[in-house]
Amino acid sequence: MSAHAAPFRMVFALLAGLAAGAILIPGAQAQRFNKVIIDPGHGGLDGGSKWYGVTEKNLTLDLAKRIKKILDDKGIPTVLTRETDVYVELVERAEMANSSKDTLFVSVHFNAHRDRSVTGIETFYYPGSEQGRVLGSYIQSELSRRIATRNRGVKPNRLKVLEATKGTAVLVECGFISNRWEAQRSASAWFRQILAEEIAQGIMRYR
Ligand SMILES: [Zn+2]
């Protein structure tokens, strides 16, 4: 989950945001959000956790693209904070959510622990953010309904990327790749598709 400072910034992430911003669906219902910013954790120089040949930054990017596809098909405008294997600063990721009104920010990560027996899915929101807690609860309950692992719950956490995001924001830790079983299934496309469907379902419940 930790991120390192990089000596450069990526402008393309901003361009991606502009390109995907203005989709309007005729007849769409009133929403409590206009756009979902999906944030694949890590990228580029920052690989995130690496276990059993599985690298977090690759899992998060694939998962984020799957979530985007599902929401796009439902007519919900989405933006990815990165679309390729590049490093994007945490504040820059948050800024993509802060630059327009009524956005949701959903960051996806995979966890690791030195104790390889640790497993489970958990969702974080910034302390005091009631909307973050509600969104996090929806996502976490969808995930725990369908995925057999330990439900580690919805918890407040002073994570930098959540602190920098002004609107509703959550960070989902989709399992521990330091656990062989969770690493193996996280490396499978079918499993990431289930994660994507449940996270998208949680987001849609928030409407
Ligand atoms: Zn991470």
24 CA → ligand 1 middle, Å: 32
61 CA → ligand 1 middle, Å: 11
Query: Measuring CA to CA, which residue among 108, 113, 97 is closest to residue 165?
Result: 97
2 CA → ligand 1 middle, Å: 6
What pLDDT, in 10s, does the model give residues 158-204? 999 999 999 999 999 999 999 999 999 999 999 999 999 999 999 99
71 CA → ligand 1 middle, Å: 23
Average pLDDT for the chain: 89
Beta bridge partners of 176: 111
pTM, whole model, 2 decimals?
0.85
111 CA → ligand 1 middle, Å: 6
What pLDDT, in 10s, does the model give residues 52-86? 999 999 999 999 999 999 999 999 999 999 999 99
Q: Which residues surround ligand 1, an ion (CB under 5 A)?
A: 1, 41, 48, 109
The angle formed by the CA atoms of residues 56, 57 and 58, to the nearest 5 degrees, is 90
60 CA → ligand 1 middle, Å: 8
What DSSP string runs through 138-172? HHHHHHHHHS-S-EEEEEE---HHHHH--SEEEEE
Domains, the chain, in order of start with CATH, read 34-205 (3.40.630.40)
What pLDDT, in 10s, does the model give residues 86-131? 999 999 999 999 998 899 999 999 999 999 999 999 999 999 999 9
Distances (CA, A) of 92 to 36, 72, 191: 16, 23, 29
40 CA → ligand 1 middle, Å: 9
110 CA → ligand 1 middle, Å: 5
64 CA → ligand 1 middle, Å: 13
